[in-house]
A and B are shown apart, each in its own frame.
Chain A
Amino acid sequence: MAIDATAEAEKAAGMPQLDFSTWPNQIFWLLVTLVVIYLVLSRVALPRIGAVLADRKSTITNDLAAAEELKQKAVAAERAYNEALANARTEAAKIVAQAKAEIQKDLDAATAKADAEIAARAAESEKSIAEIRDGAAAAVAEVARDVAGALVATLGGGADAKTVTAAVTARLKG
């Protein structure tokens, strides 16, 4: 018996893994261990980690979608801004054109009025010049008649006034 035990001990010391007397013990405790780990993992750990990962994925997806939406909104806002700017520009151009037209109209009216006044004044001046000229012509004729009459009288002619006048008038015309 003692020799057997020693041999057994030596064999165990050589390679304890091959000491089959301990195998049922190891296998039993291994199975217990695996069952416990399996229960812990399948009941608690794995569903929990899986849920966290899924949560994170959906959060990221949602955030990306929200970001995309905000980007769309920003683009729309920019478009609206540009549109408003263009509208304002058109309006401003319209107002400027209108103002220009009004000013032009006023200017035209003022110019026309000034032209009319100038024309009226010119006509008036012309008339008075004509009057003065006519007056002068008449005066010249008178003076010529008088001078002619005086000359005729002085030279001893007895010409009557009617003949002198006719002669002077003829000469003035000629």
Chain B
Amino acid sequence: MAIDGEKAAGGLKIEPMEQFTIKPLFGDGPIEWYTPTNATLWMGVAVLAVTAILVLSTRRRAIVPSRGQSVAEMLYGFIHKMVEEVAGHEGLRFFPYIMTLFMFVLLSNLLGMIPTSFSTTSQIAVTGTLALMVFLTVTLVGFWRKGIGFLSMFWVASAPLALRPILAVIELISYFVRPLSHSIRLGGNLMAGHAVIKVFAGFAGVMGVASVVPIASITAIFGLELLVSAVQAYVFTILTCVYLRDAVGDAHH
């Protein structure tokens, strides 16, 4: 604490990672598994936002949609089409599940862009859990639907026989790396963007008039990060569909 104080007195003190700290909402006690924290708060906000976008805006069930209803229908149609095209017709049974993932990731990403908010999707614990859920779902559904035949996706029948064992090892490794890349891609992107903005904000605090440079940079990066927020939600979802195709689809690639 004393060291921190000295740093602060020194002027330039940038702690880009401080924003990712989990804090209890009430009091200063230890964080038990049930303690309401800032993460809890912003997950709750995400739930409200999802509800507002998909439920409140469609309450009139208009044939000629209002603006809000158009957005809800567009999101619905977008993910519905993605699931059908990527995961196949059988994959549509998982449409609510995938829609849940997409809406949560998208809204968490976007809500995280609100200054002083907490970005839940920049937490490895969160993205890791999401990715692991997808991994377990795909694996369990694959074995449930195809039985031991699910393993045939590791045995590349179109390759020369001599290469197949080697390819099988590679396929197996890549299969188990999926949740790792799936989660770190999302969490890393979000974390990096927020950290960069924080660093520039730290510069802006001590540069006086020249602060316009970092402030302009923050504005530009903010726009970029909005794009990243949407793109990463899209990437996370479409990868989920791609993985799901292995479990429910007929054709292997």
Write the residues of chain A forming the contact surface with B, with a CB cutoff of 8 angstroms.
Answer: 12-19, 21-34, 36-38, 40-42, 44-46, 48-53, 55-56, 59
Contact = CB atoms under 8 A, between A and B. Distances in A.
Contact of A29 (B39, B65, B122, B191): B39
Interface residues of B, number: 52
Contacts of A25: 22, 31-35, 37, 39-40
Given A16-B17, A37-B47, A53 B124 contact: no
B123 interface: yes
A32 B34 CA distance: 11
Given A16-B17, A41-B103, A29 B43 contact: yes
Contacts of A53: 73, 76-77
Nearest to B56: A45
Contact of B54 (A17, A36, A40, A51): A40
Interface in B15-32: 15, 17-18, 20-22, 31-32
29 contacts: A17-B20, A17-B191, A19-B21, A22-B39, A25-B33, A25-B34, A25-B37, A26-B22, A26-B120, A26-B125, A27-B125, A28-B34, A29-B36, A29-B39, A30-B43, A30-B130, A32-B43, A36-B47, A37-B46, A37-B103, A40-B51, A41-B103, A44-B55, A45-B54, A48-B55, A48-B58, A48-B61, A50-B76, A56-B63
Contact of B100 (A15, A18, A37, A55): A37
